[in-house]
Amino acid sequence: MNRTHALPLTDDEIHVLVDGRVNAPDRTALEARLAQDPAAQATVARWQQQREQLRGLYPRMLDEPVAASLLTAAQELDASRQTARQWTRWSGMAASVVLSFGVGWLLHGQWQLHQPAALLAKAPVVTDFVRQAGLAYAVYTPEVRHPVEVTANEQAHLVQWLSKRLGKPLKVPDLTEHGYDLVGGRLLPGESGARAQFMFQNAAGNRITLYLGTVNAAPPGSGAPQETAFRFSADGAAPSFYWVDQGFGYALSGQVSKETLLQLAQATYRQL
Protein backbone atom coordinates (compact mmCIF):
# COMPACT_ATOMS: atom_id res chain seq x y z
CA MET A 1 0.00 0.00 0.00
CA ASN A 2 1.44 3.36 -1.03
CA ARG A 3 1.73 5.99 1.63
CA THR A 4 -0.08 9.26 0.84
CA HIS A 5 2.19 12.27 1.08
CA ALA A 6 0.56 15.22 2.83
CA LEU A 7 0.89 18.78 1.61
CA PRO A 8 3.65 20.82 3.35
CA LEU A 9 2.37 22.97 6.20
CA THR A 10 1.92 26.68 5.52
CA ASP A 11 3.27 29.40 7.82
CA ASP A 12 -0.27 30.08 9.09
CA GLU A 13 -0.73 26.40 9.98
CA ILE A 14 2.60 26.35 11.79
CA HIS A 15 1.55 29.50 13.69
CA VAL A 16 -1.61 27.87 15.07
CA LEU A 17 0.35 24.77 16.13
CA VAL A 18 2.95 26.82 17.98
CA ASP A 19 0.33 29.14 19.50
CA GLY A 20 -2.03 26.32 20.49
CA ARG A 21 -4.91 28.21 18.85
CA VAL A 22 -6.54 25.20 17.17
CA ASN A 23 -9.27 22.74 18.14
CA ALA A 24 -8.48 19.09 18.85
CA PRO A 25 -9.60 17.55 15.51
CA ASP A 26 -7.74 20.16 13.45
CA ARG A 27 -4.65 19.82 15.64
CA THR A 28 -4.62 16.05 15.12
CA ALA A 29 -4.77 16.54 11.36
CA LEU A 30 -2.01 19.16 11.40
CA GLU A 31 0.22 17.03 13.60
CA ALA A 32 -0.22 14.11 11.22
CA ARG A 33 0.97 16.29 8.34
CA LEU A 34 3.76 17.70 10.51
CA ALA A 35 5.08 14.18 11.08
CA GLN A 36 5.73 13.94 7.33
CA ASP A 37 7.28 17.40 6.99
CA PRO A 38 10.85 17.62 8.42
CA ALA A 39 11.24 21.25 7.30
CA ALA A 40 8.09 22.25 9.17
CA GLN A 41 9.28 20.32 12.24
CA ALA A 42 12.47 22.36 12.30
CA THR A 43 10.48 25.58 11.90
CA VAL A 44 8.14 24.64 14.76
CA ALA A 45 11.09 23.94 17.04
CA ARG A 46 12.77 27.23 16.12
CA TRP A 47 9.61 29.30 16.59
CA GLN A 48 8.84 27.62 19.91
CA GLN A 49 12.34 28.49 21.11
CA GLN A 50 11.92 32.13 20.03
CA ARG A 51 8.48 32.23 21.67
CA GLU A 52 9.79 31.02 25.01
CA GLN A 53 12.79 33.34 24.89
CA LEU A 54 10.59 36.39 24.41
CA ARG A 55 7.99 35.24 26.92
CA GLY A 56 10.84 34.77 29.39
CA LEU A 57 11.47 38.50 29.34
CA TYR A 58 8.24 39.05 31.33
CA PRO A 59 7.57 35.80 33.25
CA ARG A 60 5.64 37.42 36.10
CA MET A 61 3.73 39.95 34.05
CA LEU A 62 2.19 37.35 31.75
CA ASP A 63 0.06 35.93 34.58
CA GLU A 64 -1.10 39.30 35.92
CA PRO A 65 -4.57 40.66 35.03
CA VAL A 66 -4.57 43.65 32.71
CA ALA A 67 -5.74 46.81 34.47
CA ALA A 68 -8.75 48.68 33.04
CA SER A 69 -6.59 51.76 32.52
CA LEU A 70 -4.23 49.73 30.35
CA LEU A 71 -7.07 48.48 28.19
CA THR A 72 -7.81 52.12 27.39
CA ALA A 73 -4.14 52.84 26.77
CA ALA A 74 -3.99 49.87 24.41
CA GLN A 75 -6.19 51.73 21.95
CA GLU A 76 -3.56 54.46 21.70
CA LEU A 77 -0.86 51.84 21.07
CA ASP A 78 -2.68 50.13 18.21
CA ALA A 79 -0.23 51.52 15.66
CA SER A 80 2.67 50.00 17.60
CA ARG A 81 0.99 46.62 17.62
CA GLN A 82 0.57 46.88 13.87
CA THR A 83 4.33 47.35 13.61
CA ALA A 84 4.86 44.30 15.81
CA ARG A 85 2.65 42.26 13.48
CA GLN A 86 4.78 43.42 10.57
CA TRP A 87 7.85 42.07 12.36
CA THR A 88 6.00 38.80 12.90
CA ARG A 89 5.50 38.38 9.17
CA TRP A 90 9.18 39.15 8.50
CA SER A 91 10.64 36.98 11.20
CA GLY A 92 8.33 33.98 11.23
CA MET A 93 7.68 34.21 14.95
CA ALA A 94 4.41 32.91 16.38
CA ALA A 95 1.82 35.65 16.93
CA SER A 96 1.56 34.88 20.63
CA VAL A 97 5.22 35.84 21.11
CA VAL A 98 4.51 39.36 19.94
CA LEU A 99 1.35 39.51 22.03
CA SER A 100 3.32 38.41 25.10
CA PHE A 101 5.88 41.10 24.40
CA GLY A 102 3.04 43.62 24.00
CA VAL A 103 1.54 42.70 27.37
CA GLY A 104 4.88 43.38 29.04
CA TRP A 105 5.12 46.72 27.31
CA LEU A 106 1.56 47.71 28.28
CA LEU A 107 2.15 46.74 31.91
CA HIS A 108 5.23 48.92 31.87
CA GLY A 109 2.92 51.69 30.63
CA GLN A 110 0.85 51.47 33.84
CA TRP A 111 3.63 53.39 35.59
CA GLN A 112 3.59 56.05 32.89
CA LEU A 113 -0.15 56.66 33.17
CA HIS A 114 0.33 58.24 36.57
CA GLN A 115 3.24 60.50 35.68
CA PRO A 116 3.11 64.24 34.91
CA ALA A 117 2.30 65.24 31.35
CA ALA A 118 5.85 66.52 30.83
CA LEU A 119 7.20 63.00 31.24
CA LEU A 120 4.66 61.66 28.78
CA ALA A 121 5.72 64.15 26.15
CA LYS A 122 8.58 61.98 24.88
CA ALA A 123 8.34 61.75 21.11
CA PRO A 124 6.45 58.52 20.34
CA VAL A 125 8.36 58.10 17.09
CA VAL A 126 11.63 57.78 19.05
CA THR A 127 10.00 55.43 21.57
CA ASP A 128 8.79 53.24 18.73
CA PHE A 129 12.24 53.30 17.12
CA VAL A 130 13.94 52.03 20.29
CA ARG A 131 11.29 49.38 20.85
CA GLN A 132 11.68 48.14 17.27
CA ALA A 133 15.46 48.03 17.76
CA GLY A 134 14.98 45.79 20.81
CA LEU A 135 12.53 43.55 19.00
CA ALA A 136 14.90 43.19 16.03
CA TYR A 137 17.62 42.21 18.50
CA ALA A 138 15.37 39.58 20.09
CA VAL A 139 14.32 38.14 16.74
CA TYR A 140 17.69 37.75 15.05
CA THR A 141 20.36 37.24 17.74
CA PRO A 142 19.15 33.68 18.60
CA GLU A 143 19.56 32.61 14.98
CA VAL A 144 22.38 30.11 14.47
CA ARG A 145 22.52 29.64 10.71
CA HIS A 146 21.01 32.90 9.43
CA PRO A 147 21.60 35.72 11.95
CA VAL A 148 22.49 38.14 9.12
CA GLU A 149 21.81 38.51 5.40
CA VAL A 150 25.35 39.56 4.47
CA THR A 151 28.32 38.37 6.51
CA ALA A 152 31.37 40.31 7.68
CA ASN A 153 33.39 38.67 4.88
CA GLU A 154 31.54 40.99 2.50
CA GLN A 155 31.65 44.11 4.67
CA ALA A 156 32.32 46.51 1.79
CA HIS A 157 29.33 45.18 -0.14
CA LEU A 158 27.19 45.19 3.01
CA VAL A 159 27.90 48.85 3.76
CA GLN A 160 27.42 49.92 0.14
CA TRP A 161 24.12 48.03 -0.16
CA LEU A 162 22.62 49.29 3.09
CA SER A 163 23.84 52.86 2.47
CA LYS A 164 22.01 52.85 -0.86
CA ARG A 165 18.81 51.44 0.62
CA LEU A 166 18.79 53.84 3.59
CA GLY A 167 19.82 56.84 1.46
CA LYS A 168 22.70 57.75 3.76
CA PRO A 169 26.40 56.84 3.85
CA LEU A 170 26.79 54.29 6.63
CA LYS A 171 29.80 53.18 8.60
CA VAL A 172 30.35 50.06 10.65
CA PRO A 173 32.00 50.83 14.01
CA ASP A 174 35.11 48.84 14.92
CA LEU A 175 34.44 47.26 18.33
CA THR A 176 37.28 44.74 18.30
CA GLU A 177 39.05 46.68 21.04
CA HIS A 178 36.09 45.85 23.26
CA GLY A 179 36.06 42.18 22.24
CA TYR A 180 33.25 42.31 19.68
CA ASP A 181 33.71 41.38 16.02
CA LEU A 182 31.28 42.10 13.20
CA VAL A 183 29.03 39.16 12.28
CA GLY A 184 27.30 40.98 9.43
CA GLY A 185 24.12 42.89 8.80
CA ARG A 186 20.67 42.90 7.27
CA LEU A 187 18.01 45.17 5.78
CA LEU A 188 14.84 45.68 7.84
CA PRO A 189 11.51 47.50 7.35
CA GLY A 190 10.75 50.76 9.14
CA GLU A 191 7.74 53.02 9.45
CA SER A 192 9.42 55.79 7.46
CA GLY A 193 11.61 53.72 5.15
CA ALA A 194 14.26 51.05 5.22
CA ARG A 195 16.34 50.39 8.32
CA ALA A 196 19.47 48.36 8.95
CA GLN A 197 20.93 46.14 11.64
CA PHE A 198 24.60 45.38 12.21
CA MET A 199 25.36 42.45 14.51
CA PHE A 200 28.51 41.92 16.60
CA GLN A 201 29.65 38.95 18.70
CA ASN A 202 32.34 38.34 21.31
CA ALA A 203 34.40 35.22 22.02
CA ALA A 204 31.79 33.97 24.50
CA GLY A 205 29.08 34.09 21.83
CA ASN A 206 27.28 37.12 23.28
CA ARG A 207 25.76 39.35 20.62
CA ILE A 208 24.90 43.02 20.39
CA THR A 209 23.20 44.87 17.53
CA LEU A 210 23.34 48.36 16.09
CA TYR A 211 19.94 49.34 14.67
CA LEU A 212 19.78 52.48 12.56
CA GLY A 213 17.57 54.40 10.18
CA THR A 214 15.35 57.42 9.68
CA VAL A 215 12.98 58.02 12.60
CA ASN A 216 10.86 60.77 11.06
CA ALA A 217 10.12 62.14 7.62
CA ALA A 218 9.01 65.59 8.80
CA PRO A 219 11.04 68.76 8.13
CA PRO A 220 12.73 70.74 10.95
CA GLY A 221 10.31 72.97 12.82
CA SER A 222 7.39 70.57 12.40
CA GLY A 223 7.66 69.30 15.96
CA ALA A 224 9.14 65.95 14.94
CA PRO A 225 12.39 65.03 16.72
CA GLN A 226 15.58 66.05 14.91
CA GLU A 227 17.97 65.31 17.77
CA THR A 228 17.91 63.56 21.12
CA ALA A 229 20.43 63.32 23.89
CA PHE A 230 22.40 60.11 24.40
CA ARG A 231 19.89 58.03 26.38
CA PHE A 232 19.44 54.61 27.94
CA SER A 233 16.30 52.50 27.75
CA ALA A 234 15.73 49.29 29.70
CA ASP A 235 12.26 48.84 28.23
CA GLY A 236 11.30 46.33 25.58
CA ALA A 237 13.10 43.20 24.48
CA ALA A 238 16.65 44.37 25.21
CA PRO A 239 18.42 47.27 26.98
CA SER A 240 19.55 49.95 24.53
CA PHE A 241 21.55 53.14 24.37
CA TYR A 242 20.15 55.36 21.63
CA TRP A 243 20.39 58.78 20.06
CA VAL A 244 18.97 60.71 17.08
CA ASP A 245 21.02 63.05 14.89
CA GLN A 246 19.12 65.14 12.33
CA GLY A 247 16.29 62.66 12.07
CA PHE A 248 18.53 59.60 11.80
CA GLY A 249 18.41 57.21 14.73
CA TYR A 250 20.91 54.81 16.24
CA ALA A 251 20.25 52.18 18.92
CA LEU A 252 22.83 49.79 20.35
CA SER A 253 21.11 46.86 22.06
CA GLY A 254 22.34 43.88 24.02
CA GLN A 255 21.78 41.63 27.03
CA VAL A 256 24.91 42.86 28.79
CA SER A 257 25.48 45.04 31.83
CA LYS A 258 24.57 48.69 31.55
CA GLU A 259 28.22 49.66 32.07
CA THR A 260 29.43 47.38 29.26
CA LEU A 261 26.68 48.56 26.92
CA LEU A 262 27.56 52.17 27.70
CA GLN A 263 31.23 51.61 26.81
CA LEU A 264 30.22 49.97 23.53
CA ALA A 265 27.70 52.71 22.75
CA GLN A 266 30.24 55.45 23.45
CA ALA A 267 32.74 53.74 21.14
CA THR A 268 30.07 53.46 18.48
CA TYR A 269 28.97 57.07 18.90
CA ARG A 270 32.54 58.37 18.56
CA GLN A 271 33.08 56.47 15.32
CA LEU A 272 29.78 57.42 13.70
Domains of the chain: 11-109 (no CATH), 122-271 (3.30.200.100)
Q: Each residue's pLDDT tens digit in the chain (272 positions)?
A: 445 566 888 888 888 888 887 788 888 888 888 888 888 888 888 888 877 777 666 666 666 666 554 555 555 555 454 555 555 455 554 444 444 444 444 444 443 333 333 333 345 678 888 999 999 999 999 998 899 999 999 999 999 999 999 999 999 999 999 999 999 999 998 877 899 999 999 999 999 999 999 886 455 555 555 566 788 988 778 899 999 888 899 999 999 999 999 999 999 999 98
Cα dihedral sign for 45, 50, 53, 59? negative
Select from 214, 74, 201 the least CA-distant residue to 148.
201
Position 124 scores a pLDDT of 64
CA distance 138 to 211: 12
Distance CA 111, CA 265 (A): 27
- What per-residue confidence (pLDDT) applies to 25? 83
Residue 67: the pLDDT is 55
Question: Which residues are CB-contacts of 108 (< 8 A; sequence separation ≥ 6)?
Answer: 235
Residue 51: name the closest of 103, 104, 21, 94 by CA: 94
pLDDT, position 163: 95
Say whether pTM exceeds 0.75.
Answer: no
